[in-house]
A = this chain, B = another copy of it.
Amino acid sequence: MPGEFDFIRTYLSERQTSRQDVNLALGDDCAIVCPPPNARIALSTDTLVGGSHFLLSAAPELVAHKALASNLSDLAAMGARPAWMSLALTLPEIDENWLRPFFDAFFALADDYGIQLIGGDTTKGPLSISLTVQGFVPQDKALLRSGAKAGDWLYVTGKLGDSKAGLDVILDPTLRGQPFASELEKRHFLSTPRVEFAQGLLGIASSAIDISDGLLADLQHILERSCVGASIDVSLLPYSEQMAAFVGERDIACQYALTSGEEYELCFTVPEQYKAYVDSQLAQETELHCIGKIESQGHLKLHDSGQPIDWQLSGYDHFKAS
């Protein structure tokens, strides 16, 4: 590590109150942590590459939020409580004007979720942010992709499609004149990982995934791992008024809701016996939408209030692949 990078070590130290279960963080060959008795540890790694996952001109605080939120969302998708993380940061140069807002936003979000930075590596090279996050799940209770059964109800949290609309604006500045363009652009970066909510799904949901590649693509992972099919009623898809105004047409709004990636909302399935509980209790504090049902057939079907949609014709397939 070149000497100039030493300052980062100083810069990162004592930014967070140490968790009780962290024996040693930053500054030795390894960090040392002490998991609780009988803990199951959930672990996920996600990398954002500058110029590929975000424009190099993107605001550093937004990049920091996106990098950490996308990782926290993976923990949420398992029902895990965040605990520790390590950061592999590759930088073309030491630019304090970039690093300061980056780390301010990074640690602010980390503190909100009780996750401590315990290790990492800073190297010189093309900008890249890779995080490995860890959290705890109760034994045999993790929310897997593989537990959905025919007859289960299909839910999503929040609203879908804003992230894709925001990305449109980022990639094509001529769209800045469209309604709510700047608001949608921010929403592309500023998701809220559903960590707290997911705790309530433990023992209730039969499967879960976070929406990072788009609802259709991510639901497909559940269907494959669970060996089931599903049907979605597109008339029940939740999307924001802002996104609807931005894209202008209902059909396109539905397409956006189905295919928008990097939403970091949860898609999950609920057995019939727990549906009333989910609708009455869990829906009180978090926006939830029941959008369809798991079926025994190994396919994903769309309908519009009962009218079948041929998605080959409707263009959904094109969006799915894009």
A225 at interface by CB-CB < 8 Å: yes
Q: In the complex, A32 Cα to B225 Cα: how many Å? A: 16
> Of the candidates B39, B74, B119, which one forms a contact with A35 in the assembled complex, judged by CB atoms under 8 Å apart?
B39
Q: When the two chains form their complex, are residues A145 and B28 in contact, meaning their CB atoms are under 8 A apart?
A: yes
Q: When the two chains form their complex, are residues B86 and A132 in contact, meaning their CB atoms are under 8 A apart?
A: yes
Q: In the complex, A130 Cα to B43 Cα: how many Å? A: 15
Q: When the two chains form their complex, are residues A45 and B86 in contact, meaning their CB atoms are under 8 A apart?
A: yes
Q: In the complex, A30 Cα to B137 Cα: how many Å? A: 11
A28-55 vs B: 1/0 string, CB under 8 Å?
1111111101111111111111111100
Given the interface pairs A45-B120, A90-B128, A119-B45, the reply to whether A35 lies near B35 with Cβ below 8 Å is yes
Q: When the two chains form their complex, are residues A41 and B33 in contact, meaning their CB atoms are under 8 A apart?
A: yes
Count chain A residues whose beta carbon lies closer than 8 angstroms to a beta carbon of B. Answer: 63
Q: When the two chains form their complex, are residues B74 and A43 in contact, meaning their CB atoms are under 8 A apart?
A: no
Q: When the two chains form their complex, are residues B43 and A118 in contact, meaning their CB atoms are under 8 A apart?
A: yes
| Interface of A toward B, CB cutoff 8 Å | 1, 3, 23-24, 27-35, 37-53, 74-75, 77-78, 80, 84, 86-88, 90, 118-121, 123-126, 128, 130, 132, 135, 137, 142, 144-146, 208-210, 213, 225, 321
In the complex, 19 of the A-B residue pairs with CB atoms within 8 angstroms, ordered by the A residue number, are A1-B213, A3-B321, A23-B40, A27-B145, A27-B225, A28-B78, A29-B145, A30-B42, A30-B75, A30-B135, A32-B41, A37-B37, A43-B86, A47-B88, A49-B123, A49-B124, A52-B124, A86-B132, A88-B130
Given contacts A29-B75, A30-B135, A37-B38, 18 further A-B contacts (CB under 8 A): A28-B144, A28-B145, A29-B208, A30-B44, A31-B42, A32-B142, A34-B40, A35-B35, A35-B41, A37-B37, A43-B84, A47-B123, A49-B90, A49-B124, A49-B126, A52-B123, A90-B128, A125-B128
